[in-house]
Amino acid sequence: MNGGFHIVVCGSVVPDPLQTLAPIEGPTGPALKNELMLPAVLDPWAGHALYEAAHLAKNTPGSKVWLVSLGPKAKLQQLMMTIAQKVSFELVVLDGPSGGFSDASEVAAALAGAIDKIPDLDRSRLLLFGGCASASRDAGVTMQMVGERLGISDQFLGVDELTVEADGALKILERIEGGQYQVSVCAGAPAVLAWATGNLPEPPNNPQIGMMNMRTVMPALQRAQPAPVGAEGVSWRGVDLPQQRRQTRIVKDLSVEEIAREIVAWLKG
């Protein structure tokens, strides 16, 4: 690839999966109880996309990675304390809600607008990365909408592997039904890749990378543009927690054979 890729990763914060979540009625629609107090993490699939982007940039000279995040500025600042130590990137911040009840279309418009304004971004070398779905809205639609707004007609969803061929073509493995992969070859950038888990482990913290990133992270946070996304046109009729508690029967006193017989009877029943 001549000159490397310009890789833009879209990713934001979500509540730590270990937290208990409860919906409340907010002034503009549903929200999470104590949303701003909940510990937050980088959206897991977006995290995989970021690690894959950094890996690709490292192995493709001349490449650069941007992380475009839409979320509450204070939360993003906290997040950067950990993420910025893992991989090199330049941060672009949109200060707005990161909750799941905002509309993907409005989020996509804000993200596409921010990407469009990135100085020196070469759209002919652009690889737009993100998660295949968020852990909040879990719609799996935002990346395609951002790509469409940016006029990118080669898009891939649920990507686990990207290989850059000698001629610059992109060989991509996407998850499909039945635990298989669809293998596609794209002529090259620009393209949208919405990642599943990929194949890389979470990088270890590296304080040197952290210090390097922080030189641009803090100014980016200060320059954050407000992005008041919502869900215009949506009428919420209710948001409820499911009746998830079951009356668990705890079986402690049966022998292995008795347990096995009970399980087999249940399976065949």
Partner 1 sequence: MEKILFLAHTQDDGTLPNVAREALAAAVDLTQKIPGSSLSVGLIGQEAKPAADAVAACGAARFLAVTGTEFAASRYASDVAAVEALVSEAQATLIVAPATIRFSRALPGAAQRLQGRIETHVSGLDVVDGAPQIQRWYYRQRMVATLARSQRPWFLVVDAGVFPPWQGAPGAAALDNVAVALPENCTRTRVVGIQSPAVKTQTIRPDAEVLFVAGAGWTKKQADGQLHIKEAEGLILGFLQQCNASLGSSKSLVDQSVEGEAVLSFMSHLNQVGQTGSTPRHPKGLATCCHGEEPHAVGWRFINERRAINTDPNCGWAQGKADVLYVADAFQVMAKVNDLLGG
Binding to partner 1, residues 66-95 (CB under 8 A): none
Are 16 and 40 in contact, with CB atoms under 8 Å apart?
Answer: yes
Count of residues binding partner 1 (CB under 8 A)? 88
User: Given the complex with partner 1, which of 66 and 156 has the nearer CB atom?
Assistant: 156
CB of 211 to partner 1, least distance (A): 27
77-94 burial by CB neighbour count: b if 16+ within 10 A, else e? eebbeebbbbbbbbbbbb
The only residue of 27, 61, 119, 178 in contact with partner 1, by rule CB under 8 A: 178
71: its two tokens: 């979320």
CB of 254 to partner 1, least distance (A): 7
Q: Which residues within the stretch 44-63 sit at the binding site for partner 1 (CB under 8 A)?
A: 44-45
Q: Which residues within the stretch 183-242 sit at the binding site for partner 1 (CB under 8 A)?
A: 183-188, 196-197, 199-201, 233-242
Are 3 and 43 in contact, with CB atoms under 8 Å apart?
Answer: no
- For residues 121 to 160, the per-residue mask of contacts with partner 1, x marking binding by CB under 8 A and - elsewhere, is --------------xxxxxxxx-xx-xxx---xxxxxx-x
User: Given the complex with partner 1, which of 175 and 216 has the nearer CB atom?
Assistant: 175
Instruction: Give, rounded to a whole angstrom, the gap between the first and last alpha carbons of the chain.
Output: 59
Q: Amino acid letter at 6?
A: H
Q: Which helix (H) or strand (E) is 109 found in, with range?
A: helix 104-116
